[in-house]
Chain A
Amino acid sequence: MINIIAIQSILQSFVSDISDIQGATLVSPDGLAIASALPERVDEERIAAMTAAMLSIGERIGRELARGQIDRVIVVGEKGYSVLVNCSDDAVLLILANANAKQGLLFLEIKRAVAELVPLLAEQPKANLLT
């Protein structure tokens, strides 16, 4: 079984330990939330579906324009960042950060979180994602 509790706790501490990070959710490639630490006002189900759609479009654009393997898709607004990162074949990580976040540091922290998440995802055979 996928260790959702462990994943959840990584996401939670990621969000609470790093001041500019406001939320994180791990999503299956077909748009279902696996675990989340999101702000109250965010609708988890919708955001999970949007994350999957966005990454799939980002990947298609990357392929069309010969950008190679896509590791992340970034949406920058005046109030901050949404960063989508491919974690494994079975999961996409979405991170919300406020506008004060320094991009370099943000990506570094995300990389660390992904490194913690990947081993937990590898444990789980695909069929177990079935709900």
Chain B
Amino acid sequence: MEVLRIVITGAVGAGKTTLIRTISEIQVVDTDRQATDETALLKPTTTVAFDFGRLTFAPNQALHLYGTPGQARFDFIWDILIQKAHAYIFLVDAHRPQDFRSGRRILSFMNQRAKIPMLIGLTHMDCPGAWDLDDIALALGLFDEATRPAMVPINPTQPSSVSQALMRLVQELMKAPVLN
């Protein structure tokens, strides 16, 4: 069995845990705990270590999906997970511009540590006030359309949307010159 390790990252509430729960074929190992910081205003629980799920997509190929925490105090987990990843998806909640800055910090953290295929997934595009793709790119500091990573809308609550994005990422991975 060939295993591709995919990290799902992004700021608090972007939908990392939800995405993995939606698509995993095994019961997800989550480490959500009651939130007592400002996350509590957004949702009751937050990931404190990682989520783990699995998806078999060919007879001998499986994705291992690891979801990171969102808060910067857990950056040691970001580091552990990204070191072993083959590719990653960075999720941005399109309707919470106040979180773009912390998202940008995660993106640059990952960028510095891993030169691996990645996608940017825009979540909450169905919510009122969602920014559109080009504006989010600018907010993330991705000014050059030609060189910026692929950006796709993803709804983490919908299996078809999640699997589409994952297959897109796998394609990017197959195109990439070396598998690490």
Contact = CB atoms under 8 A, between A and B. Distances in A.
A92 B34 CA distance: 13
A12 interface: no
B85 to A, nearest CB: 18
Contact of A30 (B29, B48, B76, B77): B48
Interface stretch (B2-10, B36-44, B125-133, B153-161): B36-44
Interface in B64-84: 69, 71, 73-74, 76-77
A70 to B, nearest CB: 13
A45 B31 contact: no
Contacts of A49: 48, 71, 73-74, 76
Contact of A126 (B34, B48, B73, B76): B34
Contacts of B39: 30
A46 to B, nearest CB: 7
Contact of B73 (A29, A31, A89, A130): A31
A57 interface: yes
B19 to A, nearest CB: 19
A53 B49 contact: yes
A53 B29 contact: no
Q: Is the interface of A mostly helix, strand, loop or mixed?
A: helix
A26 interface: no
Interface residues of A, number: 22
Given A29-B33, A56-B31, A126-B34, A45 B73 contact: yes
B84 to A, nearest CB: 16
B46 A57 contact: no
Contact of B49 (A32, A56, A64, A129): A56
Given A53-B49, A130-B40, A31 B74 contact: yes
B39 to A, nearest CB: 7
Interface string A40-59: 00000110111011101100
A54 B37 CA distance: 19
Interface of B: 29, 31, 33-40, 46, 48-49, 69, 71, 73-74, 76-77
